[in-house]
Structure 1
């Protein structure tokens, strides 16, 4: 195991840790990745309903950024009305174990675990 992800004197943005954060950071990116991992393929409105608190514009922006970073695939169907589906790319799928580890950590260390420690 490495001593540190961010060695002294190195800018966070110049590390693997910083790079990963730049891809999945933000309020909704990890949530979008989670929903796409759970459902394989989703349309814009399905994602919006699943997330609930995101605006149309914010979701569109996040999807464009995730696509530009190679984490999701946008597939457009030439029909009327327009149909667009989103799914995880191979690169996006490679982040799912990280999200699963975060979920496991939260389950072990979340509020119920904190209350048990305080008793």
Structure 2
């Protein structure tokens, strides 16, 4: 059985896979960062959802990287007192949060992505 890293190394050579991988990685990074920031502030999903004037279900979707609506995302960022910046990088637009990023997230990202490797184009 191939390890995840060796499988990824092979798959990443495919340009479509590589582009999708980068998009998924960025979405997961943002989702995990919002989740971590919420927890650092000692807020439950319900509490933050009320502060952002969104439903707890909408917040859960954002934190899980599922069907993220930009307006909802911005409301949550505002409630967390975050500044959102948009930078163009080739043909990918990337939202960056102004808070510092925890390097432990990389391991979490790889675990999340390993679950998506079986069907990367969903």
Q: Same fold (TM over 0.5)?
A: no
Higher alpha-carbon Rg = 1
Please, what TM-score do these two structures have when normalized by structure 1?
0.30
Structure scoring higher RCO (CA < 8 A, sep ≥ 6) equals 2
